[in-house]
């Protein structure tokens, strides 16, 4: 329950505000580690069967796949193919077929993106489930702490005024004009809300839907997502959205001032813009 405090610094630099609580910072960095391992062990697991389907089951005698990474042997080459909703792309070297020219391997994602680097589903699963627990427990801790310390209400849920500012905020972002006020802007709030309230819960629940034990315990999971194989596809899709979020997130940190942003996520203190600082401090 630490309210934002302002600390006066040199006038020219704007003031430092205490922006991130220990809970926010700690969970943030645990997620960095957990999601890194979840992603790369997830690619290992995906590679064991590099096709995604819609429905309860996988069509071997019928066609219900929406994404397929495969390899085709031509007279003088091994070609990697990725088919998305029936549209085929040559992805040799990255998806389907990868590795050095003299040692081509047939695998969905390349060895640089999997843990371990070689095919080992058992290890991929051990790593994935360990960090899955870390991720879920940390998320619960974050929700609880953020509800209690006001982070959710104060910083994350957009207010009516935020939404009214949306067009202006979009225009500012498009022009790379960033305001450092100690508060999240509405685009930040919306993207964090999407991650916390939609993407994180969905990737956890679709993961659970793939568990035959959980399907017995909570059969509604299958109804919610339209079958185990659809859940596997959504799990993959949400992964892709989280990777997209990560790329934009990193880009914004760098563009908005990596030292200041990193400091606030490590120490909690954030330097506001010189003139806006007074407005932002409560």
Partner 1 sequence: MSKLVATRRQILKFGAVGGSALVLGGCDAFNFLADRNGSVRGVLEKANDLTYRVQRLLIGDALAPEYAESEIRQGQKPNGSTDPQSNEYLALKVDNFADYRLSVTGLVETPKTYSLQELRNMPSRTQITRHDCVEGWSCIAKWTGTPLSVVLNEVKLKSEARFIVFHCYDTMGSGRPPRANYYESCDLMDATHPQTILAYGLNDQTLPVANGAPLRVRIERQLGYKQPKYVHTIEAVHSFAGIGRGKGGYWEDRGYEWYAGI
Binding flags for partner 1, 127-166, as an x/- string (CB under 8 A) = x-xx-xx---------------------------------
- Is residue 167 a contact residue for partner 1 (CB under 8 A)? no
- Is residue 51 a contact residue for partner 1 (CB under 8 A)? yes
Among 144, 255, 266, 278, binds partner 1 (CB under 8 A): 255
Give residue 234's Cα distance to chain centre.
13
- Is residue 7 a contact residue for partner 1 (CB under 8 A)? no
Q: End-to-end CA distance of the chain, in Å?
A: 15
CA distance 96 to 115: 17
- Measured from the CB atom, is 49 or 153 closer to partner 1? 49
Find the binding residues for partner 1 in span 219-238 (CB under 8 A). Answer: 219, 222, 228-229, 232
- Is residue 251 a contact residue for partner 1 (CB under 8 A)? yes
- Measured from the CB atom, is 51 or 264 closer to partner 1? 51
- Is residue 275 a contact residue for partner 1 (CB under 8 A)? yes
Distances (CA, A) of 63 to 51, 66, 67, 70: 11, 9, 11, 15
Q: Which residue matches tokens 């870390």?
A: 134
Compute how many residues bind partner 1; rule: CB under 8 A.
66
- Minimum Å distance from CB 257 to partner 1? 4
- Report the largest interatomic distance among the alpha carbons of the chain, rounded to a whole angstrom: 72
Stretch that binds partner 1, among 75-83, 151-159, 160-168, 215-223 (CB under 8 A): 215-223
In the three-class reduction of DSSP (H, G, I as helix; E, B as strand; rest coil), residue 6 is classed as strand
Q: Give 3-state DSSP helix, strand, coil % of the chain, rounded to 5.
A: 55, 15, 30
Find the binding residues for partner 1 in span 57-76 (CB under 8 A). Answer: 57-62
- Minimum Å distance from CB 28 to partner 1? 16
CA distance 234 to 206: 7
- Measured from the CB atom, is 101 or 216 closer to partner 1? 216
In the three-class reduction of DSSP (H, G, I as helix; E, B as strand; rest coil), residue 152 is classed as helix
Distances (CA, A) of 118 to 111, 114, 161, 239: 6, 8, 52, 21
Radius of gyration over alpha carbons of the chain, in Å? 22
Residues of this chain that interact with partner 1 (CB under 8 A) are 36-37, 40, 43, 45-46, 48-49, 51, 53, 56-62, 111-118, 120-123, 125-127, 129-130, 132-133, 172, 176-179, 210-219, 222, 228-229, 232, 250-251, 254-258, 260, 273, 275-276
């Amino acid at each position: 329950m630490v309210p934002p405090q302002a600390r006066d610094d040199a006038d020219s630099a704007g003031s430092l505000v205490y922006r991130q609580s220990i809970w926010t910072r700690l969970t943030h960095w645990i997620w960095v580690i957990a999601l890194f391992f979840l992603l790369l062990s997830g690619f290992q697991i995906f590679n064991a069967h590099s096709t995604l389907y819609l429905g309860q089951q996988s069509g071997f005698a019928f066609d219900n796949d929406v994404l397929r990474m495969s390899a085709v042997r031509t007279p003088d080459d091994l070609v990697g193919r990725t088919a998305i909703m029936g549209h085929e792309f040559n992805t040799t070297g990255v998806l389907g077929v990868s590795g050095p020219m003299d040692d081509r391997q047939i695998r969905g994602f390349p060895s640089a993106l999997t843990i371990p680097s070689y095919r080992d589903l058992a290890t991929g699963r051990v790593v994935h489930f360990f960090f899955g627990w870390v991720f879920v427990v940390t998320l619960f801790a974050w929700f609880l702490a953020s509800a209690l310390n006001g982070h959710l209400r104060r910083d994350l849920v957009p207010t009516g005024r935020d939404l009214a500012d949306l067009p202006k905020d979009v225009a500012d972002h498009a022009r790379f004009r960033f305001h450092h006020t100690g508060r999240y802007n509405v685009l930040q709030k919306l993207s964090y809300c999407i991650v916390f309230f939609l993407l994180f819960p969905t990737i956890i629940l679709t993961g659970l839907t793939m568990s035959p034990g959980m399907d017995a315990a909570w059969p509604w999971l299958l109804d919610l997502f339209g079958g185990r194989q659809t859940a596997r596809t959504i799990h993959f899709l949400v992964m892709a959205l989280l990777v997209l979020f990560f790329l934009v997130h990193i880009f914004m940190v760098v563009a908005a001032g990596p030292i200041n942003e990193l400091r606030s996520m490590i120490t909690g203190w954030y330097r506001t813009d010189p003139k806006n600082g007074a407005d932002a401090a409560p």
